[in-house]
Amino acid sequence: MSRKLAVFFFILSVCVPAVAQTVISDDQRRFLEVRRRQIDLSSRRAQLRRIQELAKQGLVPQSEIEREQTAVDTAQLNYQEAVLSLLSLQPRLSVREAMKYQSSDGRKFVRLTVTNLTPTFDDSQFKLLSNFEGADPIPDSLRTRDVLDIFVSLRATGEAPTGNETASRGTTIALPYEVHIPELKYGASTTMEFQLLRDVNSVVVASSYKGQNQEIVVQLQQAETENTVTMSSMQASQEADLGAEATFDLKLERSSVDVRRFQLKVVNLPHQISYSFLDPGSQARLSQVNFPSGVTQQNLNLRLYLPARADEQVPVDKPLEFWALVLDAEQAQLFEKDRIYSLAEIEKSRAGRLRLVIMSRGIGEIEVSAASLYSEILVGDSVEAGFTVRNTGTRRLDNIRISADPPLNWRVDVIPDIVPLLEINRESNLKLRIVPPPGVPVGDYEVKLKTESYAYNRRVPSEDKIYRISVKAPANIWGTSALIGGVLVIVLGIVVFGVKLTRR
């Protein structure tokens, strides 16, 4: 029997490499190595028996028996090593399902199902390995290939997730970090649940077994939900100044992969606040969103435009709750009227929905005015002028202070030096006193006035004012009087001379 097997595998070893050298798998090579070691061990044992018979007849020395026994022991060790190599074939865990779903509180989970599909041997191969006289039997575990002590984790693929950051490949991105499977029988499946630490579309399913690692990159399926489309956002609650804009990044996901078109709408938003749905790339305004075949995710921007002034419907520092909706044609008919919809109505529609919050913040604006920003004074005089500061913004102003940057040795006083607070549309009067130094030369001078104030602990920008002063020299009274008297004498003389000339 052993000679026939030897001839068979000799022919197999010659023919197979020439015909199918590139199609022999690692498992098949290990299987053939066990058979080769079996044949070698069988041949060595037969040779030992022949030597022993010859030794009984006195034809060979005892040392020849010892040498052949050593060769048999070596062949036995080689055979056992080949069997152990065959038993250590890497297990194969196949991913049957990787389903992503969202809980009611907004957390993302993955339901992962793996199956033990480790390569095994059929009946003929197992019988061929086991039908070997004198060798240790091949264990049944080689055939069943049950896998023990498996550790499974979900890791990043290294691609950009739905957020702004990119996780490096191999980073564990789900809880628990590892799931331990004590035993997984051949053909059996087990299901695990992971909570995603970051929202991604694909993951690396990493498994470890007896120091051997296996990684499978899978695209996550989207679980069926009661809503046609699921919406989420990283900025579901924002603050924005009155007169400014606020942008919400929206992510739309659906479970089906057919071609669909959905309408976009916002409800329960005051009419003073307008909105637009925008494409993140082109910034084009959208009223509908398309899902081409095979596409399960879309990203959008929702931009709000806040009014410049607050009122009862758009109060300052109070959150406004509204809803962004993604609707099919039937669902859109339920929200045609411009009114406030209750939570029950929105949930009953089964439309894709997302609760958003916007809080408007007032902005501080200050206006500084005066009747005139120019004065003429004589040398030795001072300037006194009135100023008015007015709150023209939409938030109370605090700690208003006007400081001056005068020329060298000039003194400027602002009374009062600080205004503790100024409500919206209110004003406060201040007095400005500018005192030049003694003996200031005649000329034009400038005093820069800077206004500093705060609203909601933020500094309010304001425009600097320039107050111009022209210093004149005092007039000479005696010289002026003498000049006027001289002019009068000349005029009187001309009159007298004219009268006399007329009489002649």
**DSSP label at 175?**
E
**Helices and strands counted in the chain (H then E):** 8, 29
| Count of beta carbons in the 10 Å neighbourhood of residue 368 | 18
Collapsed DSSP state (helix, strand, coil) of residue 406: coil
From first to last of the 504 residues of the chain, give the pLDDT tens digit: 445 444 444 454 545 444 444 456 666 677 677 778 878 888 888 888 888 888 888 777 888 888 888 888 888 778 777 766 665 556 678 899 998 887 777 788 999 999 988 766 555 555 555 555 545 555 555 555 678 888 999 998 876 544 455 566 788 999 999 999 998 887 889 999 999 988 888 899 998 887 778 888 988 877 765 556 888 888 889 999 888 999 999 988 876 666 678 899 999 999 999 999 999 989 999 988 888 776 778 899 999 999 988 888 888 889 999 999 998 888 888 898 888 999 999 888 888 889 999 999 888 889 998 888 999 888 888 899 998 999 988 888 999 998 889 998 999 999 998 999 999 889 999 999 999 998 888 889 999 999 999 888 888 888 888 999 998 887 666 666 777 777 887 887 787 777 777 766
Cα–Cα distance, 121 to 142 (Å, whole number): 8
Amino acid letter, residue 243: G
Please provide residue 174's backbone torsions phi and psi, each rounded to the nearest 5 degrees.
-145, 150
Cα–Cα distance, 159 to 162 (Å, whole number): 10
Residues facing 97 on adjacent strands: 113
**Please, what are the domains in the chain?**
2-87 (no CATH), 93-128+135-222 (2.60.40.10), 230-361 (2.60.40.2310), 366-472 (2.60.40.10)
Cα–Cα distance list, 378 to 72, 370, 438, 474, 478 (Å):
128, 22, 11, 6, 18
Cα–Cα distance, 24 to 39 (Å, whole number): 20
Cα–Cα distance list, 399 to 334, 417, 428 (Å):
52, 10, 12
